[in-house]
Amino acid sequence: MDLAVLVPIVVATALIFDFTNGFHDTANAMATSIASGALRPRVAVALSAILNLVGAFLSVEVAKTISSGLVDEGAIGPSLVFGGLVGAIVWNLLTWYFGLPSSSSHALFGGLIGATLVAAGWDAVRFGRLVDKVLVPAVAAPLIAAMVAMIATYLACRITRGCSVSMVRPGFRVGQVVSASLLSLAHGTNDAQKTMGIITLTLISAGSLPAGSGPPVWVIVSAGAAIALGTYLGGWRIVRTLGKGITDIGIPQGFAAQTSATAVILTSSHFGMALSTTHVASGGIVGAGLGTPSARVRWDTARRMVLAWLLTLPAAGLAGAAAGWTASTGTVGTFAVVLVGLLVGLGVYVASRRQVVDEHNVNDIPVEPIEEPTVPVAGR
Amino acid sequence: MQINWSALGLVLIAGLVSGVGVVVLFTLGVRGLSDYIDAKQAGRTSVLGLGGAVVGFALSLAIVALGIYVIVAG
């Protein structure tokens, strides 16, 4: 179809994906601070949003590939990128509705792989890299984060045992907020860059930008703004699952879980293995529960999360395949995908209004309470 | 299909050292400050507490700066 129509649609869809990425991932940085009471919910999401925005401007080096080399990008045009984005958005919305933290990057990979498979065939997908880039990190991330957070939580509780709670709490609170802030900054840098990369590469493939050029200022500004707005709107459903659904997060646990998660994300990306923020943050919270002798971990919530992680790639892939195939048939197909996408978004929104989760009830425990009351405070 | 175990091991060790390390350092700072204030209220001076607070917080701050550098440098 006419690129003059298709390219704006792809750009808009990429920004919508960026927005869902923001509200899906608010929980990774802020669930522990909100649950432990270190920050009031509105303050937490506002802080995270601002830092995501700042993060978007921090690094000028944008992603040079759309799919991190998972698909042969010579074989995919704007229609398929559009289809892949739609698949990722649909999966992000559905998992958000069920309050499940799932990786936005995996959703994007899944959507792109699905769209590429139907349009360009199996040869255009590099399945070998899938193991290396997606599956191994997905298994390793929560395990590593849980181990780090478990040891860190245990030691933090040991070291502060016996000091008066009133003096320990403000210190941990500051530490937790700093860790959450660093994670928000890193998130803005990484994830907004992905969107900038997609838009820039689409503009290059349409001939609007010379090959090899960086993102124009309006791309940087709009990508940063979209992710910040998404973060500010909060994704409260997922915040509640991570903050209250897995274990009881007190001030020391929140500090240890958040700091461990931030440290694991930054060191792993420094060493060139991109771990999903979602998997690391979730693993960190499980680890904090395991490291607290008096706390319980609700494994049923953890199991549901892992199930969502396993489904992310194939489910976003199916949606991406359907959207990509339909969009590649031409103008009518593309607008049909736009229409269906808007209807899905509206449907999920309407459904979510039946039982609203927002800053007022974000700290209510989602399902039945943990059997034993736990003592989340280290000092007595 | 092959799994890069050495990269995984590196990430695990680096995560353990940095994550547990910064949590322990900061917690020692918190503990030191708490001990210092406790002692002060009792009319004493806790050199160990003050030292722990200064060293723990200073090193934590340095690690935060390193973190920002890692984010900006990519």
Distances, alpha carbon A357 to alpha carbons A242, A243, B2, in Å:
13, 13, 43
Q: What is the pLDDT of residue A2?
A: 79
Sequence-distant (≥ 6) Cβ neighbours of residue A173 within 8 angstroms: A38, A251, A255
Burial A291-306 (b: 16+ CB within 10 A, else e): bbeebbbbeebbebbb
Q: What is the pLDDT of residue A162?
A: 64
Sequence-distant (≥ 6) Cβ neighbours of residue B47 within 8 angstroms: none
CA dist., res. A111 & res. A88, Å (int): 5
- Say what the pTM is: 0.90
Which of A129, A133, A259, A265 has the highest number of chain B CBs within 10 A, making it the mutation to test binding with B? A259
Q: Are A138 and A274 in contact (CB under 8 A)?
A: no
Q: Is A340 helix (H, G, I), strand (E, B) or coil?
A: helix
Contact A167 B33 (CB under 8 A): yes
Q: How far apart are the first and last CA of chain B?
A: 28
Which residue type sits at A172?
A: F
How far away is chain B from the Cα of A270, in angstroms, using its nearest Cα?
A: 7
Contact A163 B10 (CB under 8 A): no
Contact A132 B3 (CB under 8 A): yes
Contact B31 A160 (CB under 8 A): yes
Q: What is the pLDDT along chain A (380 residues), one digit of tens a residue?
A: 678 889 999 999 999 999 999 999 999 999 999 999 999 999 999 999 999 999 999 876 767 777 777 888 777 788 999 999 999 999 999 999 999 999 999 999 999 999 999 988 888 888 888 888 888 888 999 999 999 999 999 999 899 886 666 778 889 999 999 999 999 999 998 889 889 989 998 898 888 888 888 889 999 999 999 999 999 998 999 999 999 999 999 888 999 999 999 999 999 888 878 889 999 999 999 999 999 888 889 999 999 999 999 999 999 999 999 999 999 998 999 999 999 999 999 999 999 998 888 888 888 876 544 444 455 554 43
Q: Where are the domains of chain A?
A: 3-352
Nearest to A86 by CA among A352, A346, A329, A327: A327
From A128, A263, A273, residue closest to B18, measured CB to CB: A263
Which residue type sits at B60?
A: S
From B26, B35, B74, residue closest to A175, measured CB to CB: B26
- For A251, half-sphere exposure in the C-beta direction (CA atoms, 13 angstrom radius) is 20
Contact B14 A267 (CB under 8 A): yes
Q: What is the DSSP letter of A373?
A: -
Contact of A380 with chain B, judged by CB distance below 8 Å, is answered with no
Contact of A175 with chain B, judged by CB distance below 8 Å, is answered with yes
Split at pLDDT 50, 70, 90, the class of B74 is low
Helix (H) or strand (E) holding A8: helix A3-36
CA dist., res. A180 & res. B6, Å (int): 29
Helices within A271-298 (DSSP H only) = 277-290
Instruction: Nearest chain B residue to A163 by CA: give it.
Output: B34
CA dist., res. A31 & res. A20, Å (int): 17
Decide: residue A254, CB within 10 A, 0-12 exposed, 13-18 middle, 19+ buried: buried
Burial A32-47 (b: 16+ CB within 10 A, else e): bbbbbebbebeebbbb
Bridge-partner residues for A71, per DSSP? A125
Instruction: Nearest chain A residue to B60 by CA: give it.
Output: A175
How many whole angstroms from its chain centre is CA B62? 9
| DSSP assignments along A128-173, one per residue | HHHIIIIIHHHHHHHHHHHHHHHHHHHHHHHHTTTS-HHHHHHHHH
With a cut of 70, say whether residue B67 has pLDDT above it. yes
Q: What is the DSSP letter of A124?
A: G
Instruction: Nearest chain B residue to A137 by CA: give it.
Output: B8
C-beta pairs of A211-218 under 8 Å, 24+ apart in sequence = A214/A60, A214/A62, A215/A62
Which of A178, A253, A258, A270 has the highest number of chain B CBs within 10 A, making it the mutation to test binding with B? A270
CA dist., res. A333 & res. B27, Å (int): 58
Q: What is the pLDDT of residue B1?
A: 56
Over range B63-72, report the average pLDDT.
90
Split at pLDDT 50, 70, 90, the class of B4 is confident
Q: How far apart are the first and last CA of chain A?
A: 68
CA dist., res. A78 & res. A83, Å (int): 9
Q: What is the pLDDT of residue A166?
A: 72
Q: How many C-beta atoms surround the C-beta of residue A132 within 10 A?
A: 18
> A residues 228-287 near B, CB within 8 Å?
255-256, 259-260, 262-264, 266-273, 275
CA dist., res. A181 & res. A51, Å (int): 7
SS3 sequence, chain B? CCCCHHHHHHHHHHHHHHHHHHHHHHHHHHHHHHHHHHHHHCCCCCHHHHHHHHHHHHHHHHHHHHHHHHHHHC
How many whole angstroms from its chain centre is CA A98? 15
Which of B17, B23, B40, B55 has the highest number of chain A CBs within 10 A, making it the mutation to test binding with A? B23
